[in-house]
């Protein structure tokens, strides 16, 4: 009998989804960044839930406050990708025996900090005893149905762009877990990207208001994975002509002989937005949001990086629970490529 780790996160989700009777007229299909229900008058409630588990999602240098804040950011990032302003969050918390009072206070502080940074509030929640620290947030907001950008609208010829550079969290995680050396300022930036991630809410809301986007997703499972998700949902492919590698990731790659392409494409735990845009609207969008154009949508269902004579097939892999884990160096190597 197969077990959770044989299956991996995505196959587990697929198995569970198969048992569910879908709600009629769902405004958002299963598997997009958020779920939603239609509340009439052209409005919908968008909801997202995601869980932070101490054992697998928290490098030991991350404080409980940072973990709680991150649990909020993870959820807000998905609403941001759909152009939905988060109104509020509820939180279910699992706390292990022996967990200290000051850490409990830090949970409250981190939750509040994450929510207030993005104009949202924590409304309530629940606490249980568990073997791990568990922080499960449900974030929700009200949006306009006609403004919602799914993963499924990308058309051949569209531009594909991202809201920032990639590779910092993958590099930062390596610094933390393998205790790699780096100049102080560089180390601070990279580690900070892991411990204090930012959601692209301002960008997501601005992008949704332009009417220029055809698809949108957040990059929490890595840039490569996000592109493949749009591929699957939109039935298109990508020709990438620029890898949006962060300068800091490039520096650390040179310093320690790491593969910069791995850091850029297959890292995950990054919260940039990956969007496809009608080419005729590109200029106008760029006046409102800083975007990095990385390529074009193609008819062929593959993701190819081509620069000069160099051609590379971008694989459908990235961060996946059970398959990749912070606590497992073996899989860490798999995750970030071999050294």
Residue from 79, 83, 39, 299 nearest 211 by CA:
83
- Nearest to a second copy of 105, 242 (CB atom): 105
Q: Alpha helix locations (H) across 179-259?
A: 184-195, 201-208, 223-234, 247-256
Q: What's the burial of 60, exposed, middle or buried (CB within 10 Å: 0-12/13-18/19+)? A: exposed
- Residue found under tokens 């798999």: 334
Contacts 24+ apart (CB under 8 A), 154-157: 154/214, 154/215, 154/230, 154/234, 154/236, 154/276, 154/297, 155/214, 155/234, 155/236, 155/276, 155/297, 156/236, 156/297, 156/298, 156/299, 157/279, 157/296, 157/297
Largest CA distance in the chain: 59
| Rounded Cα gap, residues 54 and 64, in angstroms | 9
| Rounded Cα gap, residues 132 and 326, in angstroms | 14
Query: CB under 8 Å to 250, separation ≥6 — which residues?
Result: 167, 260
CB 91 within 8 A of CB 122: yes
- Nearest to a second copy of 40, 308 (CB atom): 40
Instruction: List, as one string, the DSSP characters of 7-29.
Output: HHHHHHHHHHHHTPPPPTT-SS-
Residue 310: which H helix or E strand, with range? strand 310-313
């Amino acid at each position: 009998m197969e077990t959770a780790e044989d299956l991996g996160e995505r196959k587990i989700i697929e198995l569970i989804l198969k048992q569910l009777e879908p709600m009629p007229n769902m405004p958002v299909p299963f598997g997009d960044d958020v779920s939603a229900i239609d509340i009439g008058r052209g409005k919908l409630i968008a909801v997202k839930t995601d869980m932070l588990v101490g054992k697998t999602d928290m490098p030991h240098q991350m404080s409980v406050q940072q973990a709680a804040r991150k649990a909020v950011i993870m959820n807000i990032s998905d609403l941001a990708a759909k152009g939905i302003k988060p109104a509020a969050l509820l939180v279910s918390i699992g706390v292990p025996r022996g967990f200290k009072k000051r850490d409990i206070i830090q949970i409250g502080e981190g939750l509040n900090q994450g929510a207030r940074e993005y104009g949202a509030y924590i409304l309530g929640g629940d606490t249980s005893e568990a073997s791990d620290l568990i922080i499960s947030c449900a974030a929700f907001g009200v949006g306009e149905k006609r403004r919602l950008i799914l993963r499924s609208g990308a058309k051949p010829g569209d531009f594909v762009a991202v809201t920032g550079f990639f590779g910092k969290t993958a590099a930062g995680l390596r610094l933390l877990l393998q205790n790699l050396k780096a100049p102080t300022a560089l180390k601070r930036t990279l580690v900070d990207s892991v411990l204090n991630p930012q959601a692209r809410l301002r960008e997501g809301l601005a992008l949704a208001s332009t009417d220029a986007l055809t698809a949108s997703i957040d990059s929490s499972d890595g840039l490569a994975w996000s592109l493949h998700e749009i591929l699957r949902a939109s039935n298109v492919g990508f020709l990438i002509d620029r890898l949006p590698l962060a300068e800091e990731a490039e520096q650390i790659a040179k310093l320690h002989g790491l593969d910069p392409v791995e850091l850029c494409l297959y890292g995950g735990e990054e919260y940039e937005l990956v969007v496809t845009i009608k080419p005729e609207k590109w200029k106008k969008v760029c006046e409102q949001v800083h975007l990095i154009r990385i390529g074009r949508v193609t008819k062929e269902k593959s993701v190819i990086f081509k620069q000069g004579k160099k051609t590379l097939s971008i694989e459908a892999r990235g961060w996946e629970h059970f398959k990749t884990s912070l606590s497992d160096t073996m899989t860490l190597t798999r995750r970030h490529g071999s050294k």
